[in-house]
A and B are shown apart, each in its own frame.
Chain A
Amino acid sequence: MSFHLILFLAFGAVCVGGSVNLLAQRHPINSALSLIAVMAALAGEYLLLGAEFVAAVQVIVYAGAIMVLFVFVIMLLNAGEEEETKGSRVALLLGVPGVLTASVLMAWVVLRHSGTEAVAIGALPGHPTDIAQLLFHDFLLPFEVTSVLILIAIMGAVVLASKPESAARKVD
């Protein structure tokens, strides 16, 4: 068993444990913390695949910015434990077998059809220079379009989260 495989299994175990814990916890803040653990472990997997820059961005943007937003909203809305309802029991009865079937099918297809070639560490030049060359040269138009998307998302968030005008007037 190579060192690379041991690292993959260690990070993978954190990923699996974190995502199962996300489903098992009833309080959203516990789910958010286990999701942060999953994202940090995924950054380790990206490092193993030779994608250093993606790993750094994963930690900064995903585990940092996006999850801070989630935790902030959970605290802002004072979200408590979720209660059992009739709908949740039906979802549990239908959802778990359905997802299990889909996962087993997917695993079967992957193991049957994918080759056994291994991914070597550092085999790919994941250097920021190469990524910048691709991002700002070959994918320049999609990059600019995503900047417009971000702008629209910011404006939409501000409009949606601000108080409705009638309520704001009442405060005044």
Chain B
Amino acid sequence: MVPLSYYLLLSGFLFGCGVAGFLIKRNIITIFMSIELMLNGVNLSFVAFAAHWHALAGQVFVFFVMVVAAAEAAVGLAIIIAVYRTRETLNVDQVNLLKL
């Protein structure tokens, strides 16, 4: 038996690592992976609460989060490819204008 708070702590740690990666990393692909890490942390707390409250809807919401993550990854990586094509860099410090 594992207390609910342990799952929430792990989920919070994953989310915190995601936020830290988002702030620290300079490579645009790694920043994207940090966002995925944040979404995974949220998913863990969804499943933990679903088990705790005996509500299966929490697990269904994980699927919706996964769908949004997949859509976000597809569009975001396409944007990264477009940015790389015009600027030839993946460093976010050099991508500081919306203008192409």
Contacts from A to B (Cβ < 8 Å): 2, 4-5, 8, 12, 15-16, 19-20, 22-23, 28, 31-32, 35, 38-39, 42, 45-46, 48-51, 53-54, 57-58, 61-62, 65-66, 69-70, 73-74, 76-77, 79, 82-83, 85-88, 91-92, 94-96, 98-99, 102-103, 106-107, 110-111, 114-120, 123-126, 130-131, 134-135, 138-139, 142, 146, 149-150, 152-154, 156-161, 163
Contacts and interface: CB of A to CB of B under 8 A. Distances in A.
Given A45-B10, A160-B78, 7 more contacts: A77-B81, A85-B91, A88-B25, A98-B23, A102-B19, A117-B3, A126-B59
A5 B7 CA distance: 11
Interface in B1-28: 1-10, 12-14, 16-21, 23-27
B8 A146 contact: no
Contacts of A139: 57, 60
A119 B32 CA distance: 32
Interface in B49-100: 50-52, 54, 56-57, 59-60, 62-64, 66-75, 77-82, 84-85, 90-93
Contacts of A107: 9, 12
Given A62-B66, A103-B13, A73 B80 contact: yes
A54 B62 contact: yes
Interface residues of B, number: 69
B12 A142 contact: no
Contacts of B43: 42, 58
Interface of B: 1-10, 12-14, 16-21, 23-27, 29-30, 32-34, 36-37, 40, 43-44, 47-48, 50-52, 54, 56-57, 59-60, 62-64, 66-75, 77-82, 84-85, 90-93
User: For the complex, would chain B's binding face be called helix, strand, loop or mixed by DSSP majority?
Assistant: helix
A111 B85 CA distance: 48
Given A70-B77, A95-B23, A124 B51 contact: yes
A114 B13 CA distance: 16
Main secondary structure of the interface of A (DSSP, over half): helix
B68 to A, nearest CB: 7
A154 B92 CA distance: 25
Given A8-B2, A35-B33, A161 B81 contact: yes
Contacts of A66: 36, 69-70, 73
